[in-house]
Amino acid sequence: MSSKLYYGIWITLMILTVVTAKVAFIDLGPFNTVVALVIATCKALLVVLFFMHVKYASEKLTRMVIISSIFWLLILLFLSLADYSTRALGHG
Amino acid sequence: MATAAITAEREHYLNKEYGIRSWLLTTDHKRIALLYLMSITFFFFIGGFFALLIRLELLTPAGDLVQADTYNKLFTMHGMVMIFFFLIPSIPAVLGNFLVPIMIGAKDLAFPRINLLSWYLYIIAGVMMLHCIVTGGVDTGWTFYTPFSTAFSNTKVIEAGLAIFVAGFSSILTGLNFVVTIHRMRAPGMTWSRLPLFIWAHYATSIIQLLGTPVLAITLVLVVFERVFHLGIFDPTRGGDPLLFQHLFWFYSHPAVYIMILPSMGVVTEIIPCFSRKRIFGYHAVALSSIAIAVFGFLVWAHHMFVAGISLYSALIFSILSYLVAIPSAIKVFNWTATMYKGSITFSTPMLYAFGFIGLFTMGGLTGLFLSALGIDVHVTDTYFVVAHFHYIMVGGAVMGYLGGMHFWWPKISGRMYPEWLGKFAALIVFLGFNLTFFPQFVLGYLGMPRRYWQYPPEFQVLNVLSTAGSTILAVGYVLPMLYFLWSMRYGKIADDNPWGAAGLEWKTTSPPPTFNFEETPEVTWEAYNYDEIPAPVEVSLER
Amino acid sequence: MSDSPIAVEQHAEHGPELRHHFETAEQQRNAASLGMWIFLGTEIMFFGGMFCAYLIYRLNYFNEFAAGSRSLDVTLGTVNTMVLICSSLTVALGVRAAQMGKRTLLVILLLLTIVFGFAFLGIKGIEWYDKYKEHHIPGASFDASDLIRDYPQIHIDPSHEQLYFSLYFAMTGLHALHMIIGVGIFAFLTFHAWKGRYTPHYYTPIEIGGLYWHFVDIVWIYLFPLLYLIDRKPLG
């Protein structure tokens, strides 16, 4: 991979970092959190796809490992949330 | 009993090198398996010792053997030692380590040095746990519920938590090794569909170990931080939620029970076709059901929390999911019985254990379904019904499978046959002792006897006495194999390469195997369980 | 087996780094790579447990989390994020240097990575010290009265404020521990790179060490907004 591509990704990541910090001070209501997480995910994707070579030089198995791990984390988060978010309903 | 060979003894993994350094610094997966065998057997007897003390106390309704606090420590140490230092490593670390590379035609696991590290981590954890036991023990229950464990217990919670953390790391590394090995190191021609189902079972187990254990690890870290730094994450007075601990704890600990049972199912799936002289019925169904158990097993954890305070709606969700997770297990039971149908059955010791497994696991599993029903669970949760349920699966299931596997592969591991009549006798004792110990506990639970209580109303005594009597018989059944396996290493009949006429690459190499498992890397051109092509053993390997 | 004549011949065909239980160097490389990715998967679940605690408590105690978040220094946090991103760049360039056989460049980039790692840890140390001075470390000396005073617009329950800081220290602490381990790994890699161990045919340790480093960077990429930027809206 060319070093120019790496530098390009690096600049993008730096810019996105500044954007995250600045946008936090603007009132977007409930979307502040969404925007912050979306930007963070974009940054994470850039690191995974380019710095960790997943886009150009990886096999399906690597992608399966990444996706499964994230999916499993989401199971933990969402099923726990299923309890907490429904406690106030009815008798809990 | 065969005499020693007259010609120079062939070199194999046991006699290749002698001396303690060659064992403690080995990277041979087979030697590491034996290191584990010795360690987990040791901890099995420690855990068993606590069990006997519990049963002794429960002989009488009054709390007259030990004090209440001591009793809390007894059942805690029994649970922690049995689960983390016996059941979870048992089959994967002993039979898995020994057989996974051979069954796929590889020379060793992908990361032999990490394999040795796994064992050392297990030993370090074990030493920490032993130290914890002898310096006072823990009384929180193996479940470490907060805020008792974080704020009120004045026993060695930190040490026990850290010991289990280290043991968990050992477990993660074993799982990692297996997954990479199975993906990368299969011999030419060994496609996924030709893998022994023992391998599929260990693959599924490893996935659970990899995805679940880290959550237990962080949970224990948080408990330790709470005790050391007084963080307050689980402290209700500071807004902490004890139920959060339970969610995080059971997210691992429920899948952990599948770590304990899946390898046993894998063993049974190897034994039954061999002693039915028939190909396994529904190879792909069994393979995929292992994966399904691993996946679904992560979706049901809050069924341990039905009465703890979770919302009714989430309880409903977890109840339905818990029903679903029983389906893949049932598929396996049907496939095992279908395999035996019109097979040519031999009642060898491994087969006796396999039969025991099917019957007892089915009972344990079905009673799990009772517990998944919210209406029933409200009454029998935290009673001996639950205790009986999980012992049927863990002991009647997992331990029987482990013993069956040890007998099945003993010739391969040691190059010797165990005495078959003693094997059958011990199997029978185990089966009888087990049922006498634990069936009364179903009744006790139904009648309302709570678990983790050190005294009980007098009307429960008869059933408790039966249970304790059974436990002494069971203990005899467990001691016998240890004795005759040791005996056989010196005096047992010398084993052939394939005394059972079994399918699988491990039976195509010598008993015991050479250090690099095969003289030449095998090339696989046949399907798994090709019992239509393998002749039954001519020589009766099952004689005295 | 290892000193029979046939084995000696076979030895000449591969480099010394090929372990004998592997058939080919490619198999070994693929095994190492898969192993590291799976390990990173376990790390996602390891940190994930704390993200779960964070999620639940943030939902239940948003005001307290918002106030606690405001007490962190956004500038330092942003700088630290950029430091880690720079370190990921040097790591990626380092792997490339190894691929191209440029030993000196590789060593420089690995050293730069370590420097960035130390910079991150140094800044983190400063931030933690600030928390200590402000009595925001959970425990006996915890005191949230400054937050209640500074943010009267946010209704803060002082008995719940500690939870935010407990998670802050647990999460950044665990992350910092991983950074320290990463610096140790890279010190090891730098030493061996300097000794010429890594060539275009064998640079697997650099690659998998790099994967670990990038992962630690990604964890921080999420920790930064989740801890520092919970609620920075101008208060009316």
pLDDT per residue as tens digits for the range C32-51:
999 999 999 999 999 999 99
Does residue A40 have a pLDDT over 60?
A: yes
Average pLDDT over residues B504-530: 93
Q: Where residue C12 falls among pLDDT bands split at 50, 70, 90?
A: very low
Tell me the residue ranges of DSSP E strands in B86-242: none
Residue B537 inside a domain? The answer is: no
Structural domain harbouring C98: 45-228
What is the per-residue pLDDT across B93-148, written as a single tens digit (0 to 9) for each?
Answer: 999 999 999 999 999 999 999 999 999 999 999 999 999 999 999 999 999 999 99
- What is the reported pLDDT for B537? 83
Residue B225: name the closest of B213, B240, B206 by CA. Answer: B240
- What is the reported pLDDT for B453? 94
Instruction: Name which of C53, C140, C174 is nearest B233 (Cβ-Cβ).
Output: C53
Q: Two tokens at B346?
A: 């031999």
Does residue C13 have a pLDDT over 70?
A: no
Chain C contact present for B448, CB below 8 A: no
Residue B542 inside a domain? The answer is: no
Q: What is the CATH number of the domain that holds B192?
A: 1.20.210.10
Does residue C11 have a pLDDT over 80?
A: no
Structural domain count of chain C: 1
**A36-39: long-range pairs with CB below 8 Å, 24+:** A36/C225, A36/C226, A36/C229, A37/C225, A39/C225
Chain B contact present for C166, CB below 8 A: yes
* Alpha carbon distance C105, C110 (integer Å): 9
Mutate to test the interface with C, among A47, A48, A85 (most CBs of C within 10 A): A47
Q: Are B314 and A80 in contact (CB under 8 A)?
A: no
Residue C197 inside a domain? The answer is: yes
Q: Inter-chain contact A51–C88, Cβ cutoff 8 Å?
A: yes
- What is the reported pLDDT for B1? 41
Report residue B344: phi and psi, to 5°.
-105, 95
* Alpha carbon distance C142, C151 (integer Å): 17
Q: Which residues pair with B383 in a beta bridge?
A: B450
Residue B22 inside a domain? The answer is: no
Q: Inter-chain contact C210–A13, Cβ cutoff 8 Å?
A: no
Percent of chain C residues topping a pLDDT of 90:
76
What is the per-residue pLDDT across B271-315, written as a single tens digit (0 to 9) for each?
Answer: 999 999 999 999 999 999 999 999 999 999 999 999 999 999 999
Structural domain count of chain B: 1
Q: Where residue C5 falls among pLDDT bands split at 50, 70, 90?
A: very low
* Alpha carbon distance B100, B109 (integer Å): 8
Structural domain harbouring B157: 27-508
Residue C6 inside a domain? The answer is: no
Residue C12 inside a domain? The answer is: no
Residue C143: name the closest of C159, C167, C127, C125 by CA. Answer: C159
Residue B418: name the closest of B478, B355, B490 by CA. Answer: B490
- What is the reported pLDDT for B132? 97
- Nearest CA to CA, how far is C89 from chain A (Å)? 6
Chain C contact present for B219, CB below 8 A: yes
User: Which residues in C118-148 are b (16+ Cβ under 10 Å) and which e?
Assistant: ebbbebbeebbeebeeeebbbeeebebeebb
* Alpha carbon distance B441, B457 (integer Å): 15
Q: Inter-chain contact A86–B299, Cβ cutoff 8 Å?
A: no
- Nearest CA to CA, how far is C138 from chain A (Å)? 25
What is the per-residue pLDDT across C154-179, written as a single tens digit (0 to 9) for each?
Answer: 889 888 899 999 999 999 999 999 99
| Average per-residue pLDDT for chain C | 91
Does residue B341 have a pLDDT over 70?
A: yes
Peptide bond into B147 cis (omega under 30): yes
Residue B528 inside a domain? The answer is: no
Average pLDDT over residues B450-463: 96
Does residue B243 have a pLDDT over 80?
A: yes
Average pLDDT over residues A2-29: 94
Residue C150 inside a domain? The answer is: yes
Residue C53: name the closest of C217, C206, C174, C233 by CA. Answer: C174
Residue B244 inside a domain? The answer is: yes
Residue C31 inside a domain? The answer is: no
Q: Where residue C10 falls among pLDDT bands split at 50, 70, 90?
A: very low
- What is the reported pLDDT for B79? 97
Q: Where residue C14 falls among pLDDT bands split at 50, 70, 90?
A: low
Q: Where residue B32 falls among pLDDT bands split at 50, 70, 90?
A: very high
Q: Inter-chain contact C21–B107, Cβ cutoff 8 Å?
A: yes
Q: What is the CATH number of the domain that holds C66?
A: 1.20.120.80
- What is the reported pLDDT for A89? 67
| Average per-residue pLDDT for chain B | 94
What is the per-residue pLDDT across B149-189, written as a single tens digit (0 to 9) for each?
Answer: 999 999 999 999 999 999 999 999 999 999 999 999 999 99
Q: Inter-chain contact A44–C221, Cβ cutoff 8 Å?
A: yes
What is the per-residue pLDDT across B418-440, written as a single tens digit (0 to 9) for each?
Answer: 999 999 999 999 999 999 999 99
Chain B contact present for A79, CB below 8 A: yes
With contact defined as 3+ CB pairs under 8 Å, the chains touching C are A, B
What is the per-residue pLDDT across A43-77, written as a single tens digit (0 to 9) for each?
Answer: 999 999 999 999 987 889 999 999 999 999 999 99
- Give C-chain residues touching A21 at CB under 8 angstroms: 74, 77-78, 229
Q: C224: Cβ–Cβ under 8 A, 6 or more apart, which residues?
A: A17, A20, A40, C77, C78, C80, C81
Does residue B260 have a pLDDT over 90?
A: yes
Amino acid identity, position C133:
K
Tell me the three-class secondary structure of B107-124, residue by residue. CCCCCHHHHHHHHHHHHH
Residue C16 inside a domain? The answer is: no
3-state DSSP call for residue C102?
coil
What is the per-residue pLDDT across B407-418, written as a single tens digit (0 to 9) for each?
Answer: 999 999 999 999
Triad A48, A50, A51: Cα angle to 5°: 75
- What is the reported pLDDT for A90? 55
Highest-confidence segment of B203-217, B510-524, C128-142? B203-217
Residue C138 inside a domain? The answer is: yes
Does residue B4 have a pLDDT over 70?
A: no
- Give B-chain residues touching A80 at CB under 8 angstroms: 244, 247, 251
Report residue B450: phi and psi, to 5°.
-75, 155
Residue C17 inside a domain? The answer is: no
Residue B255 inside a domain? The answer is: yes
Average pLDDT over residues B335-364: 96
Residue B533 inside a domain? The answer is: no
Does residue C7 have a pLDDT over 70?
A: no
Q: Which residues pair with C199 in a beta bridge?
A: C202
Tell me the three-class secondary structure of A19-47, residue by residue. HHHHHCCCCCCCHHHHHHHHHHHHHHHHH
